[in-house]
Amino acid sequence: MTLRMEKVSKVFRDGPNEFKALDNVTLDVKEGEFIAVIGPSGSGKSTFLSTAGALLSPTSGAIMVDGRNIEKLSAKKKTMLRLEKIGFVFQSANLIPYLTVMDQLRVVNVLAKNKQRYETEEELLRHFGLGDRLKNFPSGLSGGERQRVAIARALINDPKLILADEPTASLDSKRGRQVVEMLAAEVRDRGKSGIMVTHDERVLDLCDRVLMMKDGQLVEAATVS
């Protein structure tokens, strides 16, 4: 399993008040599997994704990423785990406005000190149809192009786990579906594991499993063929 979560809970405290954002979540995600997590706002989806991606620490339970218990890692090693093993795709692409398309990927390799790359930045960008946008800044790209850059950036270090937070939210239905088709294909073709948090029910048929987050609990919502 690329990702294993065992009885994971996350409690936020505000003085005497407590809010359980995650409640005893257990999940296994295999290589080549692309999962959607749906649910109403405030159900715990974002907390779930941040906890799975080692951005938040659970209050209780265990999380394994590529066989490593992330709660036994120091803060520095957690940072390196995110750089080496986890690729993030955010709702608004989160590109750095003063970096070109090529440099969006290069900065990840510099931070990770990655000398043996799976693909060069240019090869990966051309794979996503961005060969004529290498020197463009984010302001010169369409919404769909920005999300394709974000996917390429998430893949540049050949991570095991891809986490996508509402990747279609800022796109129309056609471009949104194209982005999810790309994500699903990359997960399956490259043997990754993928989790997508989404409100967009029009793309759920592209996923292997659909799970629902409700009041901090994760349950099977449907089986997608």
Q: Read off the pLDDT of residues 123-133 as tens digits, 9 standing for 90 and up.
A: 889 988 999 99
Element (H, E) at 24: strand 17-29
User: For residue 102, is pLDDT > 80?
Assistant: yes
Residue 4: strand pairing partners: 28, 64
Alpha-carbon 175 to chain mean position: 18
pLDDT category at 16 given cuts 50, 70, 90 is confident
Distance CA 80, CA 73 (A): 10
pLDDT > 60? residue 118: no
Q: How many residues comprise the chain?
A: 225
10 Å CB burial of residue 189 (0-12, 13-18, 19+) is exposed
> Domain boundaries in the chain?
3-223
- Counting residues of the chain whose pLDDT is more than 70, the rounded percentage is 95
Can you tell me the mean pLDDT for 143-156? 90
Tell me the mean pLDDT in the region 39-48.
88
Residue 125: C-alpha distances to residues 15, 40, 87 (Å) = 48, 34, 16
Per-residue model confidence as pLDDT tens digits over 54-86? 999 999 999 999 989 998 899 999 988 998 899
- CATH T-level fold of 3-223: Rossmann fold (3.40.50)
The arrangement of strands across the sheet holding 60-65 comes to 17-29, 3-14, 60-65, 68-69
Percentage of residues in the chain having pLDDT higher than 90: 55
pTM above 0.85, yes or no: yes
Helix (H) or strand (E) holding 107: helix 101-112
